Chains A and B, each alone.
Chain A
Amino acid sequence: MGRETASVGIHTGSGCFKGRGAIDGSSQQVAELDPPQQTQPILARLGAEYFIRLGNKNKNNHRAPSDMHLDSSLAVSKRALQLQLTQRLLEGKVGNIGRFVSYAHQPDDSTDRERRSEEPPISLDLTFHLLREVLEMARAEQLAQQAHSNRKMMEIFGKHTSRSRWPVVPLKMYSNDHV
């Protein structure tokens, strides 16, 4: 069974034209992961680029309406798998993280600082794709933490104001048939 592949992500190869060469380049190491029921994901590594290859290569295929439900659930599962892989990457379970960090030269001579080139001494070789992934994860963490923190604040100030000495004005309620 010929299984075709396509790259997924927010920008599937139709971004900046310059970048396409790297995307369509030859593959190097390939590691297989636990396959979900319908598709078999393959994590391919091209230099410093990570792509998830799933499903049907020909994304320009004209799809029948009955396939739309399958498409959306497939898209969701692709996305969930992608985030999971990024999470595993960050935890160091996939490949060597240190590969991403490169050093132009070691800054050790303070007198040379003025003449040092504009090349930053330490750099990180991430693709934009991976950068966006980790950014989205960090943002989700921040929003969850903000919500948690707001709840805590409300609890603290709630306890605080209940002990305040603001006078309580008793409300008089008049019913409609009161003369």
Chain B
Amino acid sequence: MSCNSRAQLCFLLLSVTALRGQSRYLDAQENEISSEGLFALLNSELKRELPEEYVYRRPLRCLDMVAAEGQFTFKADHPQLNCAVFFIGEPNDIISIEYDSININCREGDFIKVFDGWVMKGEKFPSSQDHLLPLYERYSDYCDSGEAHPVVRSSQNVAMVFFRLHQSGSSFSITFRKVFNPFPCNVISQTPEGRFSMVIPQQHRNCSYSIIYPVEIQIGELSLGHHNDLKRSIHGCAGARDFVELLGGNGVDTSKMFPMADLCYSFNGPVQLKVGCDNTVVRMVSSGKFVNRVTFQYRLLGHQELAKLKRNSVEDMCLSG
């Protein structure tokens, strides 16, 4: 490569990495960018990790919840027939599970399955209405496709791994990573307090933000298209194709939850609602014609507030006020 074209290539690379915010990884020691540095820079996922010796490792339990990136190993010292692990990331993450070393016997009925979402008490999150894939495509079975596809990615910030090992001595290792997702749709919040802005940029889909606590939600801003795109209707939200609903329920499936409020026109200025349910969801339905955005914050309801909700409510379903 001639001196001039190499300089041009380096300049181009500098510009690209500066725009991606990763110039800090340039090794400026010898006043030259090494070829390893060049290729490593272009692989942003590689650079998000620490060197091999600093990867977090711990044993996996038969029933487990994992929120930290790292390598997790399960060793069966006796037959483990029904095991499940929850994975969760930040709202802006999607989950990546990579099979590292798998020592199981598929023919004997052992399996490792990754599910795209969470399943609890027969209900799944995201619901079928909110997820782009049909149910059977949301399961990835190592025994069917693990060799060909060693990395499985979720569509949102939660995933699960179900496994069964018949023989003691069987084991497997998986690496859990989080990958950045600029437009999250379908989130389970890790915390009972927080704030979030959900944007659906001209897509025909439904997105749910689930908080598995009873909370007070305060919606700061709702923007459904531009100001004049959606007129306020005197008939409420019936027939609206772009709206936000607040749901409450006792399961994770948003299609089985009770609507607490419907919002179908843009507004500024806080709207508050207390939802005394085990699961509180902000769900946005989008036709695809507009860029829709809702901004909200939430905080945990205390004992007194829950008791007051119960006193003031006459309906036999999740309490709201």
Contacts and interface: CB of A to CB of B under 8 A. Distances in A.
Interface in A25-62: none
A118 B88 CA distance: 23
Contacts of A100: 63, 82, 84
Interface stretch (B98-106, B222-230, B283-291, B311-319): B311-319
B195 interface: no
Contacts of A116: 135-136
The range of chain A's interface size is: 35 or more
Contacts of A122: 84, 113, 115, 119, 139, 162
Interface in B289-321: 300, 303, 306-307, 309-310, 313, 315-319
Contact of A135 (B29, B190, B277, B313): B190
A89 B303 CA distance: 26
Contacts of A131: 65, 86, 120, 212
B68 interface: yes
A64 interface: no
B319 A16 contact: yes
B135 A123 contact: no
Interface string A130-142: 0110110111011
A149 B51 CA distance: 11
B128 interface: yes
A120 B248 contact: no
A120 B306 contact: no
Contacts of A107: 136, 139
Q: Chain B, interface size: which category?
A: 35 or more
B184 interface: no
Contact of B29 (A102, A119, A165): A165
B3 interface: no
B278 A11 contact: yes
A174 interface: no
Contacts, number: 157
B61 A11 contact: no
Contacts of A153: 50
B49 to A, nearest CB: 10
Interface string B91-132: 000000000000000000000010100011111100010000
A97 interface: yes
Interface in B68-84: 68-70, 80-84
A15 B278 contact: yes
B50 A152 contact: yes
Contacts of B45: none
A100 B162 CA distance: 12
Contact of B318 (A18, A90, A138): A18
Nearest to B137: A113
11 contacts: A16-B276, A16-B318, A17-B315, A97-B82, A120-B115, A120-B119, A122-B113, A126-B121, A141-B68, A152-B54, A156-B50
Given A122-B139, A124-B120, 10 more contacts: A12-B303, A18-B250, A18-B316, A19-B250, A97-B83, A101-B82, A104-B122, A124-B119, A131-B65, A164-B29
